[in-house]
A and B are shown apart, each in its own frame.
Chain A
Amino acid sequence: MTRPRAVDGPRLPAPRAESGPVLELRAAAARRGGRTLWSGVELTVREGEFTAVLGPNGAGKSTLVKMLLGAAPVAAGEVRVLGARPGQANHRIGYLPQRRSFDASMRIRGIDVVRLGLDGDRWGVPLPFGGPRHRDARQRVAEAVELVGASAYAHRPIGQCSGGEQQRLLIAQALVRRPQLLLLDEPLDSLDLSHQGGVAALIGRICHQEGVAVVMVAHDVNPILHHLDQVLYLAEGGSAGGTPEEVITSATLTRLYGTRVEVLRASDGRLVVVGRPETTGGGHGALR
């Protein structure tokens, strides 16, 4: 044994240069088309914290993600991402956009899609064989695929993988550069119930064991409820942040919607929101 130190605990994340919060929003606001989507948002996300962004459709949840990537302007307040302005640290962020799937005609292997996440933005042609860099890259891709448990189907054309398998491969793609922050936009949306639980558990594990901060836009809080550290609820009337127990309550949601809303807890711990006015929701509920 040359490295006795390796036994002193679970696998540690790569050492971080800075110890400040991964994400910091102070009185932040977003506008789209002259309309204020949300304002006065306060949020601090630290390393290894799992944060869900909830709210009705059209509340600007995806806009928040785009803002953190520097692709949408900050209308007011201050936003710091990994200690820098939004858009300055994108190479340290893993991003999973909304509703992305590959149809059966996509003849490219899952492992190639993961590899694109590692060096797809480099110009020029990679040398086909050899080189330590080539080996490192392959190993890093294999590690990321292993981490999400996708080794069995990573060599298949991604179009032939199921929705859940594709989502795991895309998470591997987002993770392959060892990001410090994962931004996930409704990653469970297109999955059936059994896969939702598996992918949610995977994200929770990556967050808490690998120390990656996760900000996840969610449509339905229930599959991720017991992995969450905090919740940011966006609605037209304002926003609320805190632990799920603090935020997802009748009182808070009633205040956000401006009308009487009741939160019920089912016997299995699932949350049900009753009396949410359709006018603010536009069809789907943030909680079901």
Chain B
Amino acid sequence: MVLSADVASPPWSWNLLADFQQMWAYPFMVNAFRAGAIVAVVAAAVGWFVVLRRQTFAAHTVSAVAFPGAAGAVLLGFGAVYGYFTLCVAAALVIAAARGDGEGAESALTGTVQAFLLACGFLFVALYKGLLEGPQTILFGTFLGITTTQVTVLLCAGAAVLAVLALIGRPLLFASVDPRVAAARGVPVRALSTAFLVLLGAATAEASQITGTLLVFALMVIPAATARTITARPGISLLLAVLFSFTATWAGLIAAYYAPYPLGFFVTSFAFSGYVLALGLRALHGALPGRGVAA
């Protein structure tokens, strides 16, 4: 959504403290930064495993059904937040049930259901007649009108996702890197796969609210991909992904406040710039003599 830097708001001053004071004078901006921080951390942490497990197609499917979820919830008079969570988690469970034994084999059923649900979302938006923000907000994200209640919902869901991820993180890493040995060691590989898809659904629902359903990858995939370019140490890589995601989100919020372009564009562009920068640094690093194999 566009908030043009017009009327009363003074322009960007390079004095960060003054800028933040000015932005945070508006409660909706405070909520936007809060929500952004929560979403960035959760999406990056889950996204790190998505990239490791090469489940970006599953993430894409889940984010695609977030659109009809949000549109349907708005049409029915609930907040879009609940629509995101309900349909994303439901979609994750459908994928988990449909994927069968073949690890990573996405079934045609998933695609079929995805197409139908997208069509439903389109219908819901048409029925709603664009009284509120219309499909653009749902597809590309907004930071306007995030209520304190929404922030609380995001915080609770995000804390739950992170807590579960912390609990299952190590066996999940084992099962992702080396499923057969993990299974022989008694790691419940299939159950973990399902649990992770549910976490993926919840994290996608969170991210959808900042970046929109089409740009979820900006927070899920790009920071993780960037971090993995820089280091092969799992712990540090995960922390870096969270840091990158957080930076891209807050920088995107600042940019979207001062510039007349949408939030989703800024967040994605900052994350993408970081990725390109990391690739460049790695290429440079690799070109230095004797340093080509550093982790």
Contacts and interface: CB of A to CB of B under 8 A. Distances in A.
Asked if chains A and B come from one complex, the reply is: yes
Interface of A: 69, 71, 90-91, 93, 95-97, 100, 106-109, 112-113, 116-117, 119-126, 128, 153, 155-157, 160, 173-174
Contacts of A109: 232-233, 295
Contacts of A107: 228-229, 231-232, 237
B168 A155 contact: no
Interface range, B side: 20 to 34
A122 B171 contact: yes
Contacts of B185: 90-91, 117, 120-121
A123 B232 contact: no
- A interface SS class: loop
Nearest to A98: B180
Contact of B171 (A91, A112, A123): A123
Given A69-B184, A109-B295, A121-B187, 15 more contacts: A93-B184, A95-B180, A108-B232, A112-B232, A113-B177, A119-B170, A120-B171, A120-B173, A120-B182, A121-B174, A121-B185, A124-B169, A155-B295, A157-B295, A174-B181
Contacts of B293: 153, 156, 160
Interface in B165-203: 166-171, 173-174, 177-178, 180-187
Contacts, number: 85
26 contacts: A71-B183, A95-B181, A96-B181, A100-B180, A108-B234, A113-B178, A116-B173, A116-B177, A117-B185, A120-B173, A120-B182, A120-B187, A121-B170, A121-B171, A121-B174, A121-B182, A121-B186, A122-B170, A123-B167, A123-B170, A124-B166, A125-B169, A126-B170, A156-B232, A157-B232, A157-B295
B295 A95 contact: no
B289 interface: no
Interface of B: 52, 166-171, 173-174, 177-178, 180-187, 228-229, 231-235, 237, 293, 295
Contact of A116 (B178, B183, B186): B178
B189 to A, nearest CB: 11
